Amino acid sequence: MTPIIEVRSLIKKYRVGTEIITALDGVDLQIKKGEFIAIVGTSGSGKSTLLNMMSGLERPTKGEIWINNILINKVKEKDMAAFRRSYMGFVFQSFNLLASLTALENAVLPLILQGMRSKERSKRGREMLKILGLENRMSNKPSQMSGGQQQRVSIARALINNPKIIFCDEPTGNLDTKTTKEIMELLTTTIKEKGQTLVMVTHDRDVAGYADRIIHMVDGIITSEENKGGVLVNEKVN
């Protein structure tokens, strides 16, 4: 079976003044449909850069990224937003909710961009928020919710389109241990039911423990990966 995500010889360099920073230094990675992958590594190891490349948010310096058999390097800038909307959902550490909108309005934003009618949108939004345990918070603004509740709204927003792939960058970074566990259980159950692919950057060992496979990054390369249960399946020696 062809992987849903394939990264080939990926290099990303940033120029800062006169200095060139190599954020990714030759990354190869294949992710199967329905897999939950955790990407771990110290701060600055290139995790977010890799995630941003795979999700088409940033362009590589060199190398290829295939999503569902489409070479996304070749997707034109003007088509990229629509491409991302139709394939992907996103969850970030800082929730990124709009402060002036209610939980329900935030959750259904992707459906507005998609042009869905208001009645159908609300119906779907309510269903999704209910799955995430927010049936009593539909009309609350972000400032009227806890961190865990806000992150559940952002997960609802990420899942509402039923995307093939969900990208999360440190989704539990601002949450306490108990809320982290709740969020991880909700997220894994929901995506496994639907066969969705989840790619999650985290520095939390316990969070990574929910994944089917853990990718370790150091200085812009993948140094090793382990399967569930901590079995080291592949270690690169330089």
Ligand X SMILES: Nc1ncnc2c1ncn2[C@@H]1O[C@H](COP(=O)(O)OP(=O)(O)O)[C@@H](O)[C@H]1O
Residues that bind Mg ion (CB under 5 A): 48
* Cβ proximity to Mg ion, 49 vs 106, nearer residue: 49
- Separation CA 93–CA 98 (nearest Å): 14
Q: Which is nearer to ligand X, 18 or 43 (CB)?
A: 43
Q: Does residue number 89 form part of the binding site for ligand X (CB under 6 A)? A: no
Distance CA 141, CA 146 (A): 11
**Minimum separation from the CB atom of position 115 to ligand X (A):** 32
Residue 216 contacts ligand X per CB under 6 A: no
Q: Which is nearer to ligand X, 41 or 60 (CB)?
A: 41
Closer CB to ligand X, residue 46 or residue 125? 46
SS3 214: strand
Cβ neighbours, 10 Å, residue 129: 25
What is the torsional sign of CA 154, 155, 161, 166? Answer: positive
172 binds ligand X (CB under 6 A): no
Separation between Cα atoms, residue 119 and residue 203, nearest integer Å = 40
Q: Residue 42 CB, nearest distance to Mg ion (Å)?
A: 10
Least distance (Å) from ligand X to the CB of residue 75?
20
Site size with ligand X, rule: CB under 6 A: 12
How far apart CA 147 and CA 66 sit, in angstroms, is: 34
Q: Is 218 helix (H, G, I), strand (E, B) or coil?
A: strand
The neighbour count for residue 114, using CB atoms within 10 Å, is 14
State the Cα–Cα distance between residues 83 and 66, nearest whole angstrom.
13
CB of 158 to Mg ion, least distance (A): 18
CB of 170 to ligand X, least distance (A): 8
Sign of CA dihedral 25, 203, 200, 174: negative
Q: How far is the CB of 11 from ligand X (least distance, A)?
A: 12
x/- mask, ligand X, residues 14-53, rule CB under 6 A, reads x-x----x-x-----------------x-xxxxxxx----
Which residue number, 45 or 102, has a Cβ lying nearer to ligand X?
45
3-state percent helix, strand, coil for the chain, nearest multiple of 5: 35, 30, 35
| 23 contact choice in ligand X, Mg ion, none (CB below 5 to 8 Å, kind-dependent) | ligand X
Q: What is the binding site for ligand X (CB under 6 A)? A: 14, 16, 21, 23, 41, 43-49
